Structure 1
Amino acid sequence: MLISLIAGFLLANQSPVNADLSRLVRSPLTAGTISFIVGTLYLAILALSTSGRLFPSFVFIQSQPLWIWLGGLLGAIYLTSNILLFSKIGAIQTTILPIVGQIVMGSVIDLFGWFGAEEVAMTSLRFTGIIILVIGVTVAVVLPSLRNRDVRQFDSAVAKQNHPAVVIGWQVWGIIVGVLAAMQQAINGHLGTRLHSTTQAAFISFFIGTILIAIVAGLVDKRIPTANELKATKPWNWLGGLLGGTFLLVTVIAVPRIGTGLTIMMGLIGQIIGSILIQQFGWWRSPKQQMVPAQALGMVLMIVGVGLIKIA
């Protein structure tokens, strides 16, 4: 639980790092591709140093179900969709809807033991904890955003640009994106168990995701970063892949041990705490924004919710 929390904190730092990189290379998809490439190289080094190999044998590949290789695909869909959702439904819903999807799907995966997970009964105490956790996330994320005039104006402008039916479709997709993210963590965790190598499983997922996001970036941007754009970057602009790769590796380690749901929930708490601290201190060239009482209350509720889930 602790390393999942820390991994979520690290992942929160990836967003502003990649945001600054996307400003320099003039494309969030190109920045995402660079981040994936760096993360893949990082995980390749870890996999070679710990297991001595990168890819499994052909016999192993043939013996496994097709869904066990979907982690990288789901990760690429998640990244691409978040970029698209921002301009379709606004900042607040882009943040909260995938989170709801992740929490719900993580709980369902544990309940029915999907993707090789151990079944976890849905007791009344566990259900209460999940509800309190969702309320805490909403209080910590939504209420401060509603008080931010710039965010409200941006979201209002986005809503006016699209037909209500189109907005509803993107809102549903926002929840589905969260569902896919939960599936990715469960699948990668099971792949690590089957391979007997968490680093190899993390590398394979990141490698597949890198290929897919590079294809998407090539089709959409139709350009590669120039030498001058890359020279303008700072060393920390390249940290996104290391942070994302570490988060993925930790989820592969944690899912078989504490379950998909708890891994997701601890990671989300870490992300929210990290985001609040980033705004508080203006890390990674982020605009400063003081923590408000709603964020502190939300964090307390999230901790209470996870505590109930843990003792259920």
Structure 2
Amino acid sequence: MADTLRYALIMLAAGIGIPILAALNAQLGARIGSPAAAASVLFVVACAVSVLVAWATGGLDRLALIPAQPRHLLLAGFFVAFYVLSITWVAPRFGVGNAIFFVLLGQMISATAIDQFGLFGAAIRPFGLMRASGLGLMAIGVFLVQKA
């Protein structure tokens, strides 16, 4: 139970950070006139922080194992870049709330498919009536929060 609470709090903090990331990077992109340049700055800072954490936790030497990994696993970097570039460009034009609403909707759809089919080695969690109801209520809740 303690691990569950810890994991939930970490992911809650990550969720809180996503709209903040979007708003800050969108503002940086607007101020310098280039969403791509703002995204590049974000990636440089993120890389520096990641390297520092890897160094502090003794994981820096694990980078040597990367060349032996399946190439498709590196596509995660593509998805991070796509998210950051798209949110940096879209948020100032569409609104941070609207952009995040559709990000959340996309995350719910994708997570459900990954869990249903056990994609990418994930644990299989079948999609049933209870889960469909929960996702529907969550989507409605996010929509209502955004409309208010």
Fold similarity call, TM over 0.5: yes
Cα–Cα, structure 1 residues 115 and 98, in superposed 2: closer, same or farther, change >3 Å?
same
TM-score (normalised: structure 1): 0.40
Q: Is the 8 A contact 1:22 1:30 kept in 2?
A: yes
Matches within 5 A, 1:146-185: none
Q: Is there any run of 5+ residues in structure 2 with no aligned partner, and where?
A: 1-7
Q: 1:139 aligns with which of 138, 141, 144?
A: 144
Paired position in structure 2 for 1:129: 134
Distance 1:52 1:134 in 2: 38
1:27 aligns with 2:22: no
Matches within 5 A, 1:104-115: 104-115=109-120
Q: Matched residue pairs, number?
A: 140
Q: RCO higher in 1 or 2 (8 Å CA, sep ≥ 6)?
A: 1
Q: Is the 8 A contact 2:114 2:122 kept in 1?
A: yes
Matches within 5 A, 1:239-254: none
Q: 2:18 aligns with which of 8, 11, 15?
A: 11
CA deviation map 1:224-255 (0-9, x unaligned):
xxxxxxxxxxxxxxxxxxxxxxxxxxxxxxxx
1:27 is displaced (CA, Å) by 2.3
Q: Which residue type is aligned with residue 82 of structure 1?
A: I
Q: 1:61 aligns with which of 63, 67, 81?
A: 67
Q: Is the 8 A contact 2:25 2:39 kept in 1?
A: yes
Q: Which residue type is aligned with residue 97 of structure 1?
A: F
1:99 is displaced (CA, Å) by 2.4
Cα–Cα, structure 1 residues 85 and 61, in superposed 2: closer, same or farther, change >3 Å?
same
Q: Is there any run of 5+ residues in structure 1 with no aligned partner, and where?
A: 145-312
Paired position in structure 1 for 2:51: 44
1:82 is displaced (CA, Å) by 3.1
Quick check: which has more Rg, 1 or 2? 1
Q: 2:107 aligns with which of 81, 97, 102?
A: 102
Cα–Cα, structure 1 residues 134 and 54, in superposed 2: closer, same or farther, change >3 Å?
farther
Distance 2:80 2:99 in 1: 16
TM-score (normalised: structure 2): 0.79
Paired position in structure 2 for 1:74: 79
CA deviation map 1:82-117 (0-9, x unaligned):
3455688x4476443332221111011011110110
Instruction: Provide the alpha-carbon RMSD of the alignment.
Output: 2.5
Secondary structure at 2:18 match in 1: helix
